[in-house]
Structure 1
Amino acid sequence: MYRVFTRDEAMAAGISPAQLRSPRYRSISRGLYCPTSVLPSQAEVVAALMRKLPVAQFACRETAAGRHGAVVPHSSEVHLGTAQRRTSTRPDVALHWYRSPPELTRVRGLTVTSPRQTFLDLAATLPFVDLLVLGDSLVHAEACTVDMFTGLDPGRRPGAARAREVAALVRKGVESPYETRARLLIISCGLPEPEPNHPLRDATGRIVRRIDLGYEHYGIAVEYDGRDHIRREEQWHSDIARREELDDDWKFIVLTSRDIHRKQAQTAERVHKALRARGYKGPFDPLGWRRHFAP
């Protein structure tokens, strides 16, 4: 007996409708149940939905990305794929018709679209930034390697141009969506690309720490800190500013979510100012960030 089961499966196992309405069981979706003591995983719910909807043959899009361990915007629907031209009557399921057989794989017992197929499918709907987050996080989750994105040919499918451009920017070593966003903000302004997960070594060559984004040539580190929700936020940002001024060997630029979402122009200028102070004489487009980040 599955931990998440359909009404028909419950009847076949000898569980009556009256028992399903009792405190021993709870409904987690229309026609799906589990014992009250069970906290079902998404994989169990997806598998149950696929058994309830035989037309659905695999998980795809946001649901597949989640099974691969990647990061995508939250979706209230479970995304399932089918080879038949059918639509879903369930508000919690989006059914996607594939004219041609997609690339499929198995992840912990569940059939899902491959990392490559998932990336190409979502290129049609995800904004540029979120698609790059997906690509970086697929690599970080070891669902694929950067080589998968090298020379990726999306053909003429929807979102092909975006997929091709984003694929060229996917990097290894990016450990969070904010690192992706910070890197994209920087390079969108025409500044040189920092290295993700850059190692800092001591005099013996031993790695003493890794920084989110590093410019080895200029001795500049860009790091994201997620603690900007703490009390006395203004004091926290003041502390960050002092840290940037006091560092000797490496110049640290510490970013928070506010710097990525609300102060993009100032953030780009901070990075440009630090680079220029250490010898950078290349281009800088102070408004380039607007292409991918809402003003």
Structure 2
Amino acid sequence: MAEKLFRYPELLRAGSSRGAVRHAVEVGRLRRVGRGIYAAAAPDFGEDLRATLLRLPPEAVFGFHTGARLHGFGDVPQASLHVIVPASSVVPKISGLIAHESVLPVRDQVLLADVPVASAARCAVDLARTLPRMDALPLLDLALRCGACQPADLRRETARHAGLRGVCQARQLVRLADARSECRQESQLRLVLVDGGLPPPEPQIWVHDEWGNAVVRLDLGYQESKVGIEYDGRSHLTRERLRTDRARMNWLSAQGWTMRHFTARDLYHRPRYVVDQTRQALSSRRPERR
């Protein structure tokens, strides 16, 4: 079967935002084969969706994990297809399909991959209600970062879910969601600190030199207290990266910043250590008066 190609304007007309297209290329769901020409990394996915839809009630729309993937922010891998159907619908048993019966009508559905899909905000809020918190906030951040929806869209959709299971969690996480967060671990570090009773740190802070030039960008931080927080993944373990990090730390220290660095072990196995270390750094610094 010949590879199906898409022109950039076609992707936009199908409902993808510019940010969603860019993110799909970054994570490998789309492949750029020429100027303005893209190929689907999984060319049979759309066919699977259309074939499944033929066996479902006419009101069925794709949502949850499947909807998030189609909108470009499917941060949580999920092999099953997810559809939303009206409550009390008769849905045949189909291997690999999860049907979510909902009393809340699906509004503002869009057509993606030639199938009906719940709006990006509906998919994001449904997942924010039902996923673990550490998975939900990174997904909301990514939905904003890739341009699939805006903060106001999430707030309106959350209000529509009032009274449904998990809406309190979704409401809190929507308030925390931030498009500036650039990776899953940054989002999770922010959540660990907030859940530990600290103020939300600001993502992606630029630190300027005495002439006003942006020199260093921090993963997270508290500008007023000059406390910075960095997530050190595996890329930080190379000899060249260690030299670069040491130079950054020396420069930041000279500018009056106190830094705290955390690893995957800290984030996932001892979150209390992350909170305690950050609280200690904050308590040792008094906000500068202006």
Q: Output the TM-score relative to the length of structure 2.
A: 0.70
1:73-88 aligned at under 5 Å gives the runs 73-83=76-86, 85-88=89-92
Letter in 1 for 2:50: A
Corresponding residue number in structure 2 for 1:92: 96
Q: Which residue of 1 aligns with 2:219?
A: 212
Residues 199, 52 of structure 1: alpha-carbon distance in 2 compared, 3 angstrom cutoff: same
The offset of 1:243, in angstroms, is 7.6
Residues of 1 paired with 2:210 and 2:247: CA distance?
A: 26
How far did 1:54 drift?
Answer: 4.5
Residues 38-77 of structure 1 show CA distances to partners (whole Å, capped at 9, x for unaligned) of 9634742443333542436421101111222224432221
Q: 1:209 to 1:66 in 2, by over 3 A?
A: farther
Q: Alignment RMSD, CA only? A: 3.4
1:40-55 → structure 2 map (5 Å cutoff):
40-41=42-43, 43-55=45-57
Amino acid at match of 1:163: A
State how far apart, in whole Å, the 2-side matches of 1:107 and 1:212 are: 34
Aligned pair 1:267/2:280, yes or no?
Answer: no
Instruction: Name 2:105's counterpart in structure 1.
Output: 101
Question: How far did residue 116 of structure 1 move?
Answer: 2.0
The CA deviation at 1:270 is: 1.5
Is structure 2 residue 204 aligned with structure 1 residue 197? yes
1:140 paired with 2:142, answer: no
The question of 1:248 aligning with 2:254 is answered: yes
Which has a greater percent of helix?
2
CA distance in 2 between counterparts of 1:229 and 1:216 reads 24
Shift of 1:187: 1.7
- SS of structure 2 residue aligned to 1:174: coil
Q: For 1:1-295, what aligned pairs fall within 5 Å after superposition? A: 40-41=42-43, 43-55=45-57, 57-83=60-86, 85-103=89-107, 104-107=109-112, 109-150=114-155, 152-153=158-159, 154-227=161-234, 247-249=253-255, 250-279=257-286
Secondary structure of the residue aligned to 1:179 is helix
For the residue of structure 2 that corresponds to 1:62, the secondary structure is helix
Distance 1:88 1:206 in 2: 61
Q: Which amino acid aligns with 1:116?
A: A
What displacement does 1:111 show?
2.6
| Of 247-256 and 269-278, the range deviating more from structure 2 | 247-256
Distance in 2 (alpha carbons) for counterparts of 1:150 and 1:71: 20
Instruction: Tell whether the 8 Å contact from 1:70 to 1:137 is kept in structure 2 after alignment.
Output: yes
Shift of 1:141: 1.3
Identify unmatched segments of 5+ residues in structure 1: 5-37, 281-295
* Structure 2 residues not aligned, in runs of 5+: 5-39
Amino acid in the other structure paired with 1:211? L
* Bigger shift: residues 172-181 or 67-76: 67-76
CA distance in 2, matches of 1:217, 1:135: 26
Q: CA deviation at 1:107?
A: 3.9
Give the Cα–Cα distance (whole angstroms) in 1 for the partners of residues 281 and 220 of structure 2.
Answer: 14
**Aligned residues between the structures:** 243
Query: Distance between the aligned counterparts of 1:231 and 1:199, measured in 2?
Result: 24
Q: Which is further off, 170-179 or 107-116?
A: 107-116
Partner of residue 21, structure 1: none
Equivalent AA in structure 2 for residue 76 of structure 1: A
Q: Do 2:209 and 2:215's aligned partners in 1 also have CA atoms closer than 8 Å?
A: yes
Matches of 1:137 and 1:198, distance apart in 2: 18
* Identity percentage of aligned residues: 24
Please give the secondary structure, in 2, of the residue aligned with 1:199. Answer: strand
Q: Which entry has the higher C-alpha Rg, 1 or 2? A: 1
CA contact (8 A) 2:205 2:219 kept: yes
The structural deviation recorded for 1:269 is: 1.6
- Report Cα offsets for 1:13-53 as digits up to 9, x if no partner: xxxxxxxxxxxxxxxxxxxxxxxxx9634742443333542
Shift of 1:214: 1.8
Quick check: 1:79–1:93 contact (8 Å CA) kept in 2?
A: yes
Residues 55, 149 of structure 1: alpha-carbon distance in 2 compared, 3 angstrom cutoff: closer
